[in-house]
Structure 1
């Protein structure tokens, strides 16, 4: 009986040794990925963009220790920076010597885009209930005397806007999703009236900008991950074959955009803590990274603005639940700010 038991133990040991040997041999035979450090980042740069000229921004102004959803940067004629906080509806003013004040306190508006008209009034695109009732409103420079331009009852989710030479404006409709092209771009003339559809069937239309000659409209599609370049015959007519997708983004979606005096286009990458730069044809030529991105900080980069008469560009972001609050960063753009149809004669 004892001999049988010893034999069974020996057989088990032999089988276990064989299994271990096979496992070790299998481990040695399995190929493994050896990721470079750059691809171990919380937000690794897409391979197609990793070799673009790149620079890291520096901190310009700490807005709050809280994670406020900063948006809407635009400069007033006197050089003050206006910007907003989406979920609380606040509008802020930051002077060139970095004095922060509140233009509009907490309210029911949900601002996502600001522009300043020649008459000094501030125009705001706001997202309302984030479902079907946003609007475009205007207010005095001190935040008073708010008037509806495009009412909430019109059914738009107005996210961003830009003026043209005539005093009308284009705005993006932030509706839809990756499988629902319900958003678009609309135009309201200088005398008001019903918004005219310019670019329909977009998947969350977001950023918008107009070239210095007023002939090319640039639009980002957040959920569709696209950059559109739209040639215009006139304010409300797309030129024949004039609507092109010049770029398809990788990863989190493209947010707001701005254009410099040379026609370069800057696109904030929401969720990636960076700004991509495109030439006037829509080809990527560079990028600005925000500090801490490899560790997952400052990812909610929403928008930027170039200070008039200079190439100083300010980038807005927040750290959401990662503890670094809300910050404005600064870089040098590739060219000076483009003239604003809203404030420049």
Structure 2
């Protein structure tokens, strides 16, 4: 597979969203911005978000919703690779933000759930009912770590609730084509989980523990990051260390791996284009955005335009 470099010089890009005009919007975690890259590769900063913007999604109102992890410390690994290294010195809490694409205005929606602070919101996906599922990866401090979890929020800022806690470093999150299954990728375990959805914001509870089902566990010390779902229901998981995309078939647990050469920190994939086969992939450690012609069509997300 050929990977075309669309943009470089980005500061830890994540959360790409492909728009119908050929542009891609994404967050730059280290630069703390929401950024647009047009079809010619020109870069425009839409808004300054502060903290550590991580995941992004278009909501039912056409605005961009941001998972902000609250901020990281950064280290230089050499060879042009940057990596996060625990909480920033000024870290207070994570949050969910809403950004106007027209004005760049930023609004805080949530920074806690039941008066407990959000620690590190990471990724989100909107359902067809207008609410969003999100992962909170937790937060690593010097001597301890806050656990993560899966949450559900309403886009108007009126309600956020826990759907499943605790989860070990939950990262990528996505919905099956029929909207009845929620997929969550765990970073440290390299595992993809599935949850059955009973109703908006409610996951099915099973008599036995846990109430989730393992789909696949990746080998060779691969750390899972974000994910995207194909139109055929297969789940594409971006991986760290190996630096590639693993396509997992939930029906068979078969895994097909595509390497992104020279990119150890492959963090996100999204789909766009007329046939939904333009795959946009972030190589965060080196600050790159790639495009590839994907073998199969991606699933069109709710409210994308």
- State TM-score, norm by structure 1: 0.73
CA distance in 2, matches of 1:112, 1:190: 18
Q: Conserved in 1, the CA contact under 8 Å of 2:55 and 2:67? A: yes
- 1:28 is matched with none
Give deviations 1:277-312, integer Å, cap 9, x for gaps: 0114361331211123xxxxx211111111143211
- Give the structure with the larger helix fraction: 1
- 1:164 is matched with 127
What are the residue-to-residue correspondences of 1:32-181 with 2, within 5 Å?
56-64=1-9, 68-105=11-48, 107-129=49-71, 130=87, 133-142=93-102, 144-151=104-111, 154-156=116-118, 157-175=120-138
Q: Conserved in 2, the CA contact under 8 Å of 1:220 and 1:255? A: yes
- SS of the residue 1:88 aligns to: coil
Shift in CA distance, 82/154, structure 1 to aligned 2, threshold 3 Å? farther
Q: Conserved in 2, the CA contact under 8 Å of 1:170 and 1:185? A: yes
- 2:153 is matched with 188
CA distance in 2, matches of 1:195, 1:308: 33
CA distance in 1, matches of 2:127, 2:270: 17
Q: Which runs of 5+ in 1 are unaligned?
A: 1-55, 293-297
Q: Conserved in 1, the CA contact under 8 Å of 2:148 and 2:169? A: yes
- SS of the residue 1:331 aligns to: strand
CA distance in 1, matches of 2:116, 2:227: 25
Matched, 1:268 2:213: no
Give deviations 1:74-129, integer Å, cap 9, x for gaps: 12343321111112212211122333222124x52311101112322111101114
What are the residue-to-residue correspondences of 1:296-315 with 2, within 5 Å?
298-309=263-274, 310-315=276-281
CA distance in 2, matches of 1:163, 1:182: 23
CA distance in 1, matches of 2:245, 2:265: 11
Q: Conserved in 1, the CA contact under 8 Å of 2:193 and 2:214? A: yes
Q: Conserved in 1, the CA contact under 8 Å of 2:133 and 2:201? A: no
Displacement after TM superposition at 1:195 (Å): 1.9
Q: Conserved in 1, the CA contact under 8 Å of 2:62 and 2:303? A: no
**Higher-Rg member (1/2):** 1
CA distance in 2, matches of 1:238, 1:215: 10
Give deviations 1:160-211, integer Å, cap 9, x for gaps: 111011110011111167x968111000134433422112111111110112
What are the residue-to-residue correspondences of 1:239-254 with 2, within 5 Å?
239-241=204-206, 243-250=212-219, 251-254=221-224
State the superposition RMSD in angstroms. 2.4
- State TM-score, norm by structure 2: 0.82
